[in-house]
Amino acid sequence: MNSRTLLIAALTAVLLLFEGQAQKLSAKILDSVTQQPIPYVTVRLNNKGVITNEEGKFTFLLDATIATTDSLHLSSIGYRSLGKPIAEFTQPIIYLSPKAIELKEVIVSNKNYTPAEILERVQDSLEKNYRYGFTKKRLFLRETYHSSIDQTDYRIKESTIAALNKTFLDSLIRTIPKQDTYYTEVLADLLGNDDKGEQKIELIKAAELYDKSKRLDYENIEEKLNEIIKKNVKTDSYFKVKSGLFGAKVETDAIFDEAVDSTDVATLNAELEKKKEAKEQERKNFAFFKGRTLGKLYTSLPIFKNSPYNVLWKPNRYQLSLEDFSFIGDKALYVIRFTPKRSETYKGTLYINADDFALVKMDFENVEALRDFKLLGVSLNEYMAKGSMLFDKNKDGHYGLKYFEVTKGNLVGFKRPVKIIEKNKNVKGRRKQNELHLKVDAKFSAKSKYEIIVFEESAIEESQFEALTESNTVLPQYMPNYDPEFWKGYTIMEPNTAIKKFTSEVSSAE
Residues 343-398 pLDDT 10s: 899 999 999 999 999 999 999 999 999 999 898 888 999 999 999 999 998 888 89
DSSP string of 210-276, one letter each residue: E-GGGS--HHHHHHHHHHHHHHHS-TTEEEEEEETTEEEEEESTTTTPPPPPTT-HHHHHHHHHHHH
Rounded to whole angstroms, how far apart are CA atoms 340 and 316? 9
CA distances to 69, 154, 162 from 167, in Å = 71, 12, 11
Mean pLDDT of 195-214: 86
Rounded to whole angstroms, how far apart are CA atoms 210 and 499? 10
Looking at residue 207, its pLDDT comes to: 94
pLDDT in tens, 42-86: 998 887 888 999 999 998 887 777 887 888 899 999 899 999 888
Residue 128's pLDDT band (boundaries 50, 70, 90)? Answer: very high
pLDDT in tens, 170-196: 887 887 788 889 999 999 999 998 776
Average pLDDT, the chain: 82
Query: Own/partner pairs for 249-255, CB < 8 Å, 24+ apart?
Result: 255/226, 255/229
CA distances to 29, 91, 102 from 95, in Å = 6, 10, 22
Report the predicted TM-score, pTM, of the whole model to 2 decimal places.
Answer: 0.82
Percent of the chain with pLDDT over 70: 76
- Scored b (16 or more CB within 10 A) or e, 360-397 reads bbbbbebeebbeeeeeeeeebbbbbbbbbbbbbbbeee
218-232 helix and 166-174 helix, angle to the nearest 10 degrees: 160
Tell me if 25 sits within 8 A of 89, measured CB to CB.
yes
218: exposed, middle or buried (Cβ count in 10 Å: 0-12, 13-18, 19+): exposed
Of 159, 154, 51, nearest to 420 by C-alpha is: 159
Rounded to whole angstroms, how far apart are CA atoms 424 and 431? 5
Rounded to whole angstroms, how far apart are CA atoms 40 and 388? 10
Looking at residue 178, its pLDDT comes to: 87
Longest dimension (CA), the chain: 102
CA distances to 283, 287, 472, 475, 477 from 280, in Å = 5, 11, 9, 10, 15
DSSP string of 132-150, one letter each residue: -SEEEEEEEEEEEEEEEEE
The ranges of the chain annotated as CATH 2.60.40.1120 are 3-100
pLDDT in tens, 108-122: 555 678 999 999 999
Looking at residue 21, its pLDDT comes to: 39
**CB neighbours of residue 104 within 10 Å:** 6
Looking at residue 174, its pLDDT comes to: 80
Residue 203's pLDDT band (boundaries 50, 70, 90)? Answer: very high
Rounded to whole angstroms, how far apart are CA atoms 462 and 444? 44
For the domain made up of 3-100, the CATH class stated in words is mainly beta
Rounded to whole angstroms, how far apart are CA atoms 108 and 117? 17
Residue 166's pLDDT band (boundaries 50, 70, 90)? Answer: confident
- pLDDT over threshold 70, residue 281: no
Residue 17's pLDDT band (boundaries 50, 70, 90)? Answer: very low
Residue 323's pLDDT band (boundaries 50, 70, 90)? Answer: confident
- pLDDT over threshold 60, residue 429: no
Task: Tell me the one-letter amino acid at 469.
Answer: T
Beta strands in 13-133 (DSSP E): 23-31, 42-45, 48-51, 57-62, 71-75, 82-85, 93-96
